[in-house]
């Protein structure tokens, strides 16, 4: 809401309700932190919303996602508050989204669309934009396919292929053609990067890659280690484009370091697919720095999410756990014990130069132990 010049309240965006759901499949240890992450996603994508609702679902209705009782509660709230748009923390199937829309008579945004929109806003390079466009179109295509029954019901009764079906086929083909065209463009820009990479391989320059959950502090670490000024901010998916810089430790160049897109639980598979070629760069890393925000109560589930995505990308590399944001918490005995499960690791605070020393020391040692071919 905002005040106009006469002092009246106006809302320039649709009246929005956000619903954080604790779904039965969600094994997160700290649900409050999961909900906060959802609110953070919403805030990253747009400035405001009007109402929030957090609820626990004991089961999921395959047709409407929410069970009957919960759905009635939501409808009553939407009617009372004249809600025009709902954003839900979970991914919905095409049918669930459509049924909810029909029942509630308002716009529904699910987790997948929310994350895709953030990616769309944050893509700056030509390559990033292409990748996001491919993911968006793939999502649209799946939504269109789900309208199959509806469109064929619109179709004429003569023959099997009515006009509705033809329209759907035509739109699907148009999307497929566009995706193909974008993929070709993407392949061309990858070739240029491939050439660069080969040149580095010939020169035997060690490559260190920063990976981790979104907002863990990857870009902040890149900035402190390389004196560069990559955008680092308290937003989810601030970084989408890979940035590579020369890596100096104690004034000695020891290799190059790359920062890239962060991960999140239930990252839409359309995005994983679209970013696969960028992320496959990780295959050439000599060392992965897995950055973890240990001030987040869900840090261990975040590690699992990152490992899951690495597995999906078939990447198995030497890894250092970089436990970051240590300035925000006290490391008590139980936390210390939990950290010991992840070896090797360093504990740092990227925003405080003094507190990045353990990482610099590790890198120096690692570099001194590299085979002499480097």
Ligand X SMILES: Nc1nc2c(ncn2[C@@H]2O[C@H](COP(=O)(O)OP(=O)(O)OP(=O)(O)O)[C@@H](O)[C@H]2O)c(=O)[nH]1
Interface residues with ligand X (CB under 6 A)?
Answer: 212, 214-220, 232-234, 236-239, 262, 324-325, 327-328, 349-351
Given ligand X, Mg ion, none, residue 65, with its beta carbon under 5 to 8 Å by kind, binds: none
CB of 359 to Mg ion, least distance (A): 16
DSSP 233-247: -SSTT---S-EEEEE
Nearest approach in angstroms of CB 96 to ligand X is 29
Residues near 241 by beta carbon (within 8 Å), at least 6 away in sequence? 123, 124, 125, 127, 128, 260, 261
Which C-beta is closer to ligand X: that of 37 or that of 90?
37
Please give the full DSSP string across 27-41, using - where no structure is assigned: --S-HHHHHHHHHHH
User: Is residue 345 within a helix (H) or strand (E), and if so which, with residue range?
Assistant: strand 345-347
- Closest to Mg ion by CB, 99 vs 356, is 356
Q: Six-digit token pair at 28?
A: 């997160």
In whole angstroms, how close is the CB of 119 to Mg ion at the nearest point?
Answer: 13
For residue 139, give the H/E element and its range. helix 126-145
Q: Which does 350 bind (CB under 5 to 8 A by kind): Mg ion, ligand X, none?
A: ligand X
Query: 214 touches which of ligand X, Mg ion, none (CB within 5 to 8 A by kind)?
Result: ligand X
Q: Which residue is nearest to ligand X (CB)?
A: 262
Residue that the structure tokens 């995005």 belong to: 271
206 binds, among ligand X, Mg ion, none (CB under 5 to 8 A by kind): none
In the complex, least distance from residue 233 CB atom to Mg ion, rounded to whole angstroms: 8
Answer whether 274's CB lies under 8 Å from 240's CB: no
Nearer to ligand X by C-beta: 243 or 270?
243
**Comparison of 56 and 328: residue with beta carbon closer to ligand X:** 328
Which of Mg ion, ligand X, none does 111 bind, CB closer than 5 to 8 A by kind? none
**Pick 316 or 327: Cβ nearer ligand X:** 327
Using CB distances below 5 to 8 A depending on partner kind, what does residue 216 bind out of ligand X, Mg ion, none?
A: ligand X
In the complex, what is the shortest distance from the CB of residue 136 to ligand X, in angstroms, rounded to a whole number? 19
Measured CA to CA, the distance from residue 185 to residue 126 in angstroms comes to 10
8 Å CB contact between 212 and 290:
yes
Contact residues for Mg ion, defined by CB under 5 A: 218-219, 238-239
CB 74 within 8 A of CB 53: yes
**Least distance in Å: CB of 217 to Mg ion?**
8
Task: Please identify, using beta-carbon distances, which residue of 222 and 339 lies nearer to Mg ion.
Answer: 222
Q: How many CA atoms lie within 13 A of 117 on its CB side?
A: 13
Which residue, 232 or 309, has its beta carbon nearer to ligand X?
A: 232
Per partner kind, with CB cut-offs from 5 to 8 A, the member of ligand X, Mg ion, none near residue 328 is: ligand X
CA gap 256, 222 in Å, rounded? 10
Concatenating the DSSP letter of every residue in 249-294 gives ETTEEEEEEEE---B-TT--HHHHHHHHHHHGGGGG-SEEEEEEET
Residue 57 beta carbon to ligand X: minimum distance, rounded to whole angstroms: 28
Strands 207-212 and 85-88: unpaired
Least distance in Å: CB of 220 to ligand X? Answer: 3
- Judged by beta carbon, residue 214 or residue 265, the one nearer ligand X is 214
Q: What's the N-to-C CA distance of the chain in angstroms?
A: 58
């Amino acid at each position: 809401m905002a005040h106009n010049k006469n002092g009246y309240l106006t809302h320039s965006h649709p009246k929005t309700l956000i619903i954080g759901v604790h779904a039965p499949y969600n094994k997160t240890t700290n649900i409050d932190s999961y909900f906060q992450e959802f609110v953070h996603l919403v805030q990253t994508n747009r400035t405001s919303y009007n109402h929030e609702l957090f609820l626990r679902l004991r089961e999921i209705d395959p047709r409407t996602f929410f069970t009957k009782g919960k759905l009635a509660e939501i409808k009553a709230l939407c009617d009372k508050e004249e809600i025009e748009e709902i954003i839900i923390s979970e991914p919905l199937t095409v049918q669930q989204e459509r049924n909810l829309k029909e029942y509630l008579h308002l716009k529904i945004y699910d987790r997948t669309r929310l994350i895709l929109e953030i990616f769309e806003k944050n893509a700056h390079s030509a390559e990033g934009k292409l990748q996001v466009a491919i993911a968006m179109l793939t999502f649209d295509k799946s939504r269109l396919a789900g309208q199959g029954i509806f469109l064929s019901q619109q179709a004429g009764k003569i023959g099997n292929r009515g006009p509705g079906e033809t329209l759907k086929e035509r739109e699907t083909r148009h999307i497929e053609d566009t995706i193909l065209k974008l993929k070709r463009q993407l392949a061309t820009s990858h070739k240029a990067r491939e050439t660069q990479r080969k040149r580095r391989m010939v020169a035997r320059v060690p490559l260190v890659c920063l990976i981790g959950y979104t907002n863990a502090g990857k870009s902040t670490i890149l900035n402190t280690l390389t004196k560069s000024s990559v955008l680092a901010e308290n937003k989810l998916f601030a970084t989408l484009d890979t940035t590579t810089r020369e890596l100096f430790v104690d004034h000695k160049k020891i290799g190059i370091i790359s920062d890239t897109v962060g991960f999140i639980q239930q990252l839409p598979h359309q995005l994983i697919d679209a970013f696969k070629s960028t992320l496959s760069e990780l295959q050439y890393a000599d060392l992965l720095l897995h950055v973890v925000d240990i001030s987040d109560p869900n840090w261990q589930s975040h590690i699992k999410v990152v490992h899951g995505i690495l597995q999906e990308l078939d990447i198995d590399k030497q890894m250092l756990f970089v436990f970051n944001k240590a300035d925000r918490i006290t490391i008590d005995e139980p936390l210390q014990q939990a950290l010991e499960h992840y070896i090797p690791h360093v504990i740092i605070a990227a925003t405080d130069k003094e507190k990045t020393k353990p990482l610099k020391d590790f890198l120096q040692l690692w570099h001194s132990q590299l085979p002499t071919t480097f």
